């Protein structure tokens, strides 16, 4: 039997660009390619260390001036919905859920466009065409599902969609979009609540939500869920702890790129006989 060897992906850094979450700051990402026979192993290992997937790339914020973007996940076993969240679940009890292979449809794209026009008209995705949308959904080297929520009594049944990765320790909500015409339904919150139930039914301990950014109104909703923890300073920490995370905005809190890469724990490939 040969000794198993750690994967050795190459890591790169993007050029700085305006931060979409904190005004006046620049964002930069550390990323690596996700492909080949060991894609699942790498996705599982790096998701536990604050990385997120976008198509065949894994990335994590690596900004010059702050470390405010922190990966967030819900501990399924400890989660308890509050009164408002229970009302949201009841309001959306009429929706049916289906889990499908990662395949893009015209109905999804139409809903996606309406969502962007309503919520992110000036964002980087606003000018995506159907081919770019299809690539976002379909180009996945790991176990992914498209979770759709529909109201079959409506003229436009499709109400919400989430591209979801199935990890060894949870489900990761890669990207979601929904009908914004009735804000009372809070479909974004509902999808998170339903994914917590999906993970619970599957016996998986976590739901990965993406990034939480202290000081960002766009990300404030994630702090409203109980049992949320964030990946901060190399470990998962309960968000409910009484901390301001002001140090996350301090440039001196940013370790050098070489140190960041050196601290990444890579999985071993399976030994061969």
Output 244 or 54, whichever has higher pLDDT. Answer: 54
| pLDDT tens readout for residues 155-183 | 899 999 999 999 999 999 999 999 999 99
- Domain CATH for 177: 3.40.630.30
- What is the reported pLDDT for 121? 60
* pLDDT over threshold 60, residue 86: yes
Which of helix, strand or coil describes residue 90? helix
Closest CA to 9 of 51, 62, 68, 69: 51
Place of tokens 């050029």: 15
Which of helix, strand or coil describes residue 186? coil
In a domain, 268, yes or no: no
- Residue numbers of the domain that contains 204: 72-227
In a domain, 258, yes or no: no
* pLDDT over threshold 80, residue 44: yes
Domain count, the chain: 1
In a domain, 171, yes or no: yes
In a domain, 188, yes or no: yes
- What is the reported pLDDT for 115? 94
Element (H, E) at 237: strand 235-238
Closest CA to 111 of 136, 130, 132: 130
In a domain, 103, yes or no: yes
Cβ neighbours for 233, distance < 8 A, ≥ 6 positions apart: none
- For residue 251 the two structure tokens come to 């440039």
In a domain, 125, yes or no: yes
Question: Confidence class of residue 92 from pLDDT cuts 50, 70 and 90?
Answer: very high
- What is the reported pLDDT for 119? 81
Neighbours of 246 (CB within 10 A): 11
In a domain, 82, yes or no: yes
């Amino acid at each position: 039997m040969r000794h198993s060897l750690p994967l050795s992906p190459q890591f790169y850094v993007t050029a700085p660009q305006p931060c979409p979450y904190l005004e006046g700051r620049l964002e930069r990402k550390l990323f690596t390619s996700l492909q080949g026979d060991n894609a699942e192993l790498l996705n599982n290992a790096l998701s536990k260390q604050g990385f997120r997937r976008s198509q065949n790339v894994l990335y994590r914020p690596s900004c010059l001036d702050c470390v405010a973007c922190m990966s967030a996940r819900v501990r399924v076993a400890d989660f308890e919905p509050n009164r408002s969240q229970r009302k949201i679940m009841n309001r959306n009890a009429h929706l049916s859920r289906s889990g499908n292979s990662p395949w893009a449809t015209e109905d999804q794209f139409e809903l996606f466009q309406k969502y962007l026009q309503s919520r992110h008209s000036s964002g980087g995705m606003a000018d995506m065409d159907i081919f770019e949308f299809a690539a976002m959904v379909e180009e996945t080297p790991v176990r992914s599902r498209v979770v759709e929520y529909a109201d079959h009594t409506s003229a436009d049944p499709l109400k919400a969609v989430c591209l979801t990765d199935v990890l060894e320790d949870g489900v990761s909500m890669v990207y979601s979009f929904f009908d914004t015409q009735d804000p009372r339904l809070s479909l974004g919150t509902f999808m998170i609540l339903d994914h917590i139930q999906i993970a619970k039914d599957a016996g998986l301990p976590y739901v990965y939500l993406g990034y939480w950014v202290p000081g960002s109104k766009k990300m404030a909703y994630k702090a409203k869920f109980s049992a949320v923890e964030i990946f901060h300073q190399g470990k998962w920490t309960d968000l409910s702890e009484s901390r301001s995370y002001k140090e996350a905005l301090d440039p001196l809190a940013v370790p050098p790129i070489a140190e960041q890469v050196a601290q990444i724990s890579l999985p071993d490939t399976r030994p061969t006989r």
